[in-house]
């Protein structure tokens, strides 16, 4: 059984209507409403939008079920099954005008009702899909930007779309029914009629042809011809055009320009050879100069940030420390980054290379350490330092650690870091906003580290 159908019953006899409701419900369908007159049937059909209507032909009042069906059909497309105790041929012929899906003569059995409802639903679905398919196909052809025509087996034109009319200038009335030679054929095309017919007989062909508009102007089209069959029988040719005039004109212009370009290329080749040699010399000189600058910068970095030392880079925001760290990584230093800032934001804003990174956060994910877990943080730093001798560790977020753990705990952590760095001959750079600590605490922190001003680093290294 298909999807549970919603059924509207139109019956003016109360007992019969109740019997119908019970029968429909017993069959597993939903009774959405009942009407006992044509007028009420139309109103409820529009309002309830049932899947199927069981319509008695003879109803009380001036209008019959046939009249109601006409009015309903005018507003919506629903499967309708007529119920009647009459077998009058004239009545049946009159009912046919509404195109009912079934015609049941009372009394009938439940299995007849079931079969009628199921067949009505199935037929309605098939017709709906067919109608949508036809509308879709028609819409595609009529709204296609490419010209389309349909040619019958005898080579008469069956259909042309608006795009073809627009391109050629010929109206559909002047084209449909015509056989070759078609109005847009040139004299040259007409001489190749045999080739045209041979191409049409092939399963699928694609070729480029010159045609002419109604005005006499010529144009190029790429034609794709596809034979269409149904049940193994040939029906028609579907022909699709693509206007390639601009491409053809461009090809001609390109061919003309090709000769001129070859001459210019020869003239320019000698000149470019001379320029290239001069450019290679300049590049070598520039590379040498850049290498000297790089060596000077690297030497300055080694002098400023010595192995086994810890540095406190004082700045309100960690801009300079990230730029400095990135430059050290670019110069080949192995690095580890510990930060309160989300690593992806650092990567996006400062273009820091992909390196081992620890995010100080309450989020429990890979490469994340809670700010209160100083022990785990120390273990991570020690693990990096033991593997990478002479590496660089950047700690951003010391203020956050102090807030979470207290100054004394963080000071001991910094002392531990300093010991690890000294043993492993690494370099530790800590970005810190001095305004976040009192004078005494700041002094105690500075005693453990080499204090550097961010502006000095900018002048010496980054600018």
Q: Tell me what pLDDT residue 310 has.
A: 92
Q: Tell me what pLDDT residue 337 has.
A: 93
Let me know whether 271 and 341 are in one domain.
Answer: no
Q: Tell me what pLDDT residue 174 has.
A: 82
CA distance 329 to 392: 8
Let me know whether 309 and 427 are in one domain.
Answer: yes
- Residues of the chain whose pLDDT is less than 50? 1-2
Q: Tell me what pLDDT residue 409 has.
A: 94
Let me know whether 76 and 213 are in one domain.
Answer: no
Place of tokens 């050879």: 273
Could you read off the pLDDT of 354-365 as tens digits, one per residue? 688 999 999 988
Let me know whether 310 and 421 are in one domain.
Answer: yes
Q: Tell me what pLDDT residue 1 has.
A: 44
DSSP letter (8 states) at residue 218: E
pTM to 2 decimals? 0.40
Let me know whether 133 and 150 are in one domain.
Answer: no
Residue 1 located in a structural domain: no
CA distance 74 to 79: 13
**β-strand partners of 208:** 222
Let me know whether 22 and 133 are in one domain.
Answer: yes
**β-strand partners of 225:** 205, 239
Q: Tell me what pLDDT residue 441 has.
A: 92
CA angle centred on 139, ends 200 and 239, rounded to 5°:
10
Please give the residue range of the domain that contains residue 29: 6-141
Q: What CATH number is associated with residue 177? A: 3.30.450.20
Q: Tell me what pLDDT residue 134 has.
A: 57
Let me know whether 37 and 48 are in one domain.
Answer: yes
Domain count, the chain: 4
Q: Tell me what pLDDT residue 161 has.
A: 83
Check: CB of residue 374 under 8 Å from CB of residue 413.
yes
**β-strand partners of 303:** none
Residue 442 located in a structural domain: yes
């Amino acid at each position: 059984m298909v999807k549970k159908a919603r059924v509207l019953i139109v019956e003016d006899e109360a007992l019969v209507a109740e019997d119908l409701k019970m029968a429909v419900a017993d069959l597993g369908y939903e009774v959405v409403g009942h009407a006992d007159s044509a007028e009420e049937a139309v109103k409820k059909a529009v309002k309830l939008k049932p899947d199927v209507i069981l319509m008695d032909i003879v109803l009380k009042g001036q209008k019959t079920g046939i009249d109601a069906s006409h009015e309903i059909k005018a507003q919506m497309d629903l499967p309708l099954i007529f119920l009647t105790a009459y077998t009058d041929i004239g009545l049946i012929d009159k009912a046919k005008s509404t195109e009912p899906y079934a015609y049941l003569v009372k009394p009938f059995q439940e299995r007849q009702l079931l079969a009628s409802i199921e067949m009505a639903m199935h037929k309605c679905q098939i017709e709906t899909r067919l109608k949508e398919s036809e509308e879709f196909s028609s819409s595609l052809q009529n709204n296609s930007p490419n010209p389309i025509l349909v040619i019958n087996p005898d080579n008469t034109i069956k259909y042309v779309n608006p795009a073809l009319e627009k391109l050629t200038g010929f109206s559909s009335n002047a084209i449909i029914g015509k056989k070759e030679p078609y109005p847009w054929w040139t004299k040259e095309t007409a001489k190749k009629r045999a080739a045209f017919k041979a191409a049409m007989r092939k399963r699928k062909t694609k070729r480029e042809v010159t045609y002419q508009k109604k005005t006499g102007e010529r144009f190029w089209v790429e034609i794709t011809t596809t034979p269409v069959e149904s049940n193994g029988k040939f029906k028609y040719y579907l022909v699709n055009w693509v206007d390639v005039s601009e491409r053809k004109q461009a090809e001609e212009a390109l061919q003309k320009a090709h000769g001129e370009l070859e001459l210019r290329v020869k003239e320019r080749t000698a000149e470019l050879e001379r320029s290239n040699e001069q450019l290679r010399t300049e590049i070598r000189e520039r590379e040498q100069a850049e290498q000297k600058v790089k060596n000077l910068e690297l030497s300055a970095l080694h002098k400023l940030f010595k192995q086994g030392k810890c540095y406190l880079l004082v700045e309100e925001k960690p801009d300079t420390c990230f730029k400095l760290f990135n430059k050290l990584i670019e110069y080949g230093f192995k690095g580890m980054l510990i930060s309160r800032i989300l690593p992806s934001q650092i990567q996006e804003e400062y273009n820091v290379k992909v390196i081992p990174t620890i995010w100080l956060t309450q989020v429990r994910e890979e490469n994340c350490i809670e700010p209160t877990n100083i022990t785990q943080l120390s273990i991570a730093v020690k693990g990096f330092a033991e593997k990478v001798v002479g590496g660089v560790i950047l700690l951003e977020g010391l203020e956050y650690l102090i807030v979470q753990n207290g100054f004394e705990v963080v000071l001991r952590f910094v002392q531990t870091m300093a010991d690890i760095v000294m043993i492993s001959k690494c370099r530790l750079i800590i970005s810190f906003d001095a305004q976040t600590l009192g004078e005494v605490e700041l002094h105690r922190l500075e005693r453990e580290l080499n204090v550097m001003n961010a502006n000095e680093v900018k002048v010496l290294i980054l600018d």
